[in-house]
Chain A
């Protein structure tokens, strides 16, 4: 334990262990303050970063933050660590690792080769001593490409999850938001609904509805109903048209126990979804959501800081070859991420750690009304993540989720990112947008001014009452 100390002038700082160094080296955020693990002064934080920078990466293979016997995620991380892949960076300290990642010689291919040797804790540690621009620059060279009916994550591309939530799961209300999203060119990552009523019967209804929409209009995308993994398994057994299996995941076994599942549930349900063979251009069938603070919220953080717990969740995610992993960064509230500055920093950290570990990261660029954040903060984070090469963001009508009561990026916001940063939709979906007459063939992501014929016909099917709006 005495390894964790640092002498600065005539003062020696001591840290009780690796967990304390990691927590105190973390840029300030309210969740670490709530957990009582935050650095007590600004100076102590930087000293902890200096201690961290001098630690060999090997430390994280020996000094386990959560004991091997106590946690199946620790076991997953340790047992799947690839010593051979690790060899080229085995001699580095955390500080050296930052330099190595930023080096001209460290290309996307080099990172991909070393990746199985990088543990979540190593990724978390180096993130703590990186500035925002470092997180962006390195993430940009870690490309992670996945596919199902569309191909997501190619360089120069950005996809969106169309999120047509409705407070009572009303089919016409959901259809209205889907139509709005498609006509604004959204939905190439997934059309994904958070059901208002979370049970198997309701989930199957929504799965069937999304499946019908995708097939009727021949849309190269996939559907997902964001219900518990055990519900999805039951739905598959009942013959429901399941494209993607959803689950919220955390970075400790105890967090996932509080969510009501274990790694075995993910493995079994993934196998069941793979057996359906519904993908056309690929077979990544998992959709995970994460977010800093979930372990503390569940009382399952083992005294760790929230960013380290979050990186461990990506260690879970990468094991199951997901299509999409989404950090829902500002949803949890100001007791974990207080303001726009903390949300933006966390979004960049999560995206970086996920990409470094080989996870197809997207981000729910979002906030609640009790956080010190607004649309301008979201514009900033969306732009930064677009530059960093984020795989996907959310798309929702007018930024307002009327079911979950928070604000995320809108259909319009996605088009802003396309135009400002020249980011194209998934290739298969981009072709469909042109074919369907939603985008014009011109450059600069122009929307057609005429209503596409197929959708005009559907709108003529509106039930009575549409005139009263």
Chain B
């Protein structure tokens, strides 16, 4: 049992007043009970925030180290074909342009289109996986390779279907919709985009997974299924791969993706039915 909260003056040390309710952090990631210097943030809490913001900013602005990532993906697991990933670039020349022109980030530049046409087999594929830097290079650098290994295990274990998977692609300065053009040129039935999500202060390394059936330029977002917050402290690689594999199977069966698929496959997000009480009103 917790010790009773009393109404004696709060602990005060070095001009900081602590908040006894800080132990509620056991129940939430919210920055509660920070204490105060006067009515302002104590120095330690101020600098904690600055560090979190700096990490989120770096995740947005540090360019993805494509060489290192491609090395890590140089010999992808079965069922991917052997060989290094195809390196592609969007029409957004740099990060400043990327941030202001989402339309440029959705289309491949001319070199990329040519390189991709060359890489395509001409016979089509069941699946193309596209790795895109998005808004967090940190997420992609840390989690793309482990996620692809987890996904390969799911695909390889599928006894019902022998997956024909397109060569891996890595896109710089890309948005989710750039996967549509990649999938269309490759002739893939389905495209999965692994992309760095907009970093939150407490989650600078979230990977997002977007599945689109019948990808082609101009597909709109309600035709996609999304699995979000993929990172070790959020949805783990193995769980995310399992969920994606489930969605892939459903998309192949229905020959569709998006809202209709989502209704039947999404886990129940909330399960607080058993305990709706809280300490404030108990």
Cβ of B255 within 8 Å of any chain A Cβ, yes or no, is no
In contact, A375 and B53 (Cβ under 8 angstroms): yes
Question: How far, in whole Å, are A164 and B29 apart by their CA atoms in the complex?
Answer: 12
- Given A370-B60, A397-B34, A469-B26: A205 and B276 interface contact (C-beta under 8 Å): yes
Cβ of A62 within 8 Å of any chain B Cβ, yes or no, is no
Cβ of A91 within 8 Å of any chain B Cβ, yes or no, is no
Question: How far, in whole Å, are A450 and B57 apart by their CA atoms in the complex?
Answer: 38
Partner of A171, one of B200, B204, B275: B275
In contact, B279 and A459 (Cβ under 8 angstroms): yes
In contact, B198 and A368 (Cβ under 8 angstroms): yes
In contact, A209 and B49 (Cβ under 8 angstroms): no
Cβ of B153 within 8 Å of any chain A Cβ, yes or no, is no
In contact, A172 and B33 (Cβ under 8 angstroms): no
Q: Which stretch (B36-44, B79-87, B257-265) binds chain A? A: B36-44
Residue with the greatest number of chain B CB neighbours at <10 A, chosen from A166, A172, A398, A453:
A398
In contact, A405 and B31 (Cβ under 8 angstroms): no
Chain A residues whose CB sits within 8 angstroms of the CB of B277 once the complex forms: 171
In contact, B28 and A173 (Cβ under 8 angstroms): yes
* Interface set, chain B 38-64, CB cutoff 8 A to A: 39-41, 45, 49-50, 52-53, 56-57, 59-60
Q: Which stretch (B9-17, B70-78, B156-164, B187-195) binds chain A? A: B9-17
- Given A369-B198, A405-B203, A459-B5: A209 and B281 interface contact (C-beta under 8 Å): yes
Question: How far, in whole Å, are A333 and B22 apart by their CA atoms in the complex?
Answer: 32
Cβ of A71 within 8 Å of any chain B Cβ, yes or no, is no
Question: How far, in whole Å, are A446 and B27 apart by their CA atoms in the complex?
Answer: 28
Cβ of A464 within 8 Å of any chain B Cβ, yes or no, is yes
- The interface bits of chain A over 374-413 (1 if a CB of B lies within 8 angstroms of the residue's CB, else 0) are 1100000000000000000000111110100111001010
Cβ of A239 within 8 Å of any chain B Cβ, yes or no, is no
In contact, B31 and A399 (Cβ under 8 angstroms): yes
Interface SS majority for chain B: loop
Cβ of A468 within 8 Å of any chain B Cβ, yes or no, is yes
In contact, A34 and B100 (Cβ under 8 angstroms): yes
Q: Which stretch (A77-85, A98-106, A177-185, A350-358) binds chain B? A: A177-185
Least distance between B228 CB and chain A CB atoms (Å): 10
Chain B residues whose CB sits within 8 angstroms of the CB of A445 once the complex forms: 39
Partner of A180, one of B26, B32, B59, B202: B32
Cβ of B233 within 8 Å of any chain A Cβ, yes or no, is no
Least distance between A161 CB and chain B CB atoms (Å): 15
The 4 closest A-B pairs by CB, nearest first: A398-B31, A405-B200, A469-B26, A173-B28
A-B contact pairs, 5 of them (CB 8 A): A34-B103, A171-B275, A370-B135, A396-B30, A451-B20
**Interface residues, chain A, CB within 8 Å of chain B?**
30, 33-34, 164, 166-180, 183, 196-197, 202, 205, 209, 212-213, 216-217, 333-335, 338, 368-370, 374-375, 396-400, 402, 405-407, 410, 412, 415-416, 418-419, 445-447, 449-453, 455-469
**Interface residues, chain B, CB within 8 Å of chain A?**
1-2, 4-10, 12, 17, 19-34, 36, 39-41, 45, 49-50, 52-53, 56-57, 59-60, 99-103, 135, 198-204, 269-270, 272, 275-282
